[in-house]
C-alpha cells in the first residue's frame, strides 16, 4: 500500500497519478479533516472505473489504517499564500510534519518517506531526524518538480516538443535553486545558445514559479 497524507489539491493529484501509473494495488488518502479524504477517494475511484483501472483508493482519518505502508507521501500542511516564500511556512508546517512522521514511525516503520510539504528541504530534514530512518529512506521531491517546471518554461519559450527538452536544476527547492543552462538542452543544443533576454526570462520564471501559480489559484 502507498499512503498519501494530505487530501487537498496536491494530495488528490498525487493519488490519481499514482493510480494511473499502477504503482500499487491500494492507495490510502489520509487527512485529519473528517470526510475530506473519503470524498476525494470516492471521486477518484469513479474516474478509475471509467478507465478500467483496478486500483483501490481509500479515504481515512485514522493513522492506524496506514499500517505497513511501503511508501508514505507527506503532503500535509499549509500552502503558500500570495507574497509568501516557502520559508515563511517553516514555523507553520514544522509541527505538522513532526506529528505526521511520528505516526509514520509508529505504524509504518519500514516505509520510505517522500516529503512534499514546503519548505521542502527543512521538512525532509525533520522527517529524517524524527523518524530515525536511514537517509536513503527519505526522498524530498523538490528538484523533480523544479525540473518539470523548467522543462515547461523551455517548451513555452522555444516551441519545441517537451520530449526533445533535457532540463537540469540542482540545489534547494526554493529561491536558491540553480538551473544549469549549460547542461540543459533542446534537441541536443545547450540552452546557453539562446539569447541573454530569453535566458534571463527562463531564470526568473524558474526561480519563482509557485508565486505565479498561487497568485492565480
Known catalytic residues are 173
Range 120-140 burial, b when 16+ CB lie within 10 A, else e: bbbbbebbbebbebeeeebbb
Helices 36-51 and 9-20, packing angle to 10 deg: 30
Cβ within 8 Å of residue 31, ≥6 positions away:
5, 6, 7, 11, 37, 59, 61, 76
Cell for 56? 483501490
| 157-163 contact pairs (CB < 8 A, 24+) | 157/194, 157/198, 157/201, 157/202, 158/186, 158/194, 160/186, 160/187
Alpha helices in the chain (DSSP H): 9-20, 36-51, 90-107, 120-131, 142-158, 196-207, 209-216
Cα gap 103→66, rounded to integer Å: 9
Question: Radius of gyration of the chain from Cα atoms?
Answer: 19
Amino acid at each position: 500500500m502507498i499512503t498519501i497524507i494530505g487530501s487537498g489539491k496536491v494530495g488528490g493529484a498525487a493519488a490519481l497519478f499514482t493510480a494511473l501509473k499502477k504503482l500499487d494495488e491500494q492507495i490510502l488518502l489520509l487527512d485529519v479533516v473528517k470526510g475530506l479524504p473519503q470524498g476525494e477517494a470516492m471521486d477518484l475511484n469513479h474516474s478509475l472505473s471509467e478507465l478500467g483501472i483496478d486500483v483501490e483508493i481509500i479515504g481515512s482519518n485514522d493513522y492506524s489504517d496506514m499500517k505497513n505502508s511501503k511508501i508514505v507521501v507527506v503532503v500535509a500542511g499549509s500552502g503558500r499564500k500570495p507574497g509568501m516564500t516557502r520559508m515563511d511556512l517553516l514555523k507553520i508546517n514544522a509541527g505538522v510534519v513532526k506529528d505526521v512522521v511520528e505516526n509514520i514511525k509508529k505504524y509504518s516503520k519500514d516505509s520510505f518517506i517522500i516529503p512534499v510539504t514546503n519548505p521542502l528541504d527543512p521538512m525532509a530534514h525533520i522527517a529524517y531526524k524524527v523518524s530515525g530512518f536511514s537517509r536513503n529512506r527519505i526522498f524530498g521531491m523538490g528538484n523533480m518538480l523544479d525540473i518539470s517546471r523548467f522543462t515547461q518554461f523551455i517548451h513555452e519559450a522555444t516551441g519545441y516538443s517537451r520530449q526533445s527538452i533535457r532540463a537540469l536544476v540542482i540545489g534547494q527547492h526554493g529561491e536558491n535553486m540553480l538551473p544549469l543552462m549549460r547542461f540543459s538542452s533542446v534537441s541536443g543544443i545547450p540552452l546557453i545558445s539562446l539569447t541573454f533576454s530569453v535566458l534571463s526570462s527562463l531564470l526568473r520564471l524558474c526561480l519563482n514559479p509557485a508565486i505565479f501559480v498561487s497568485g492565480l489559484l
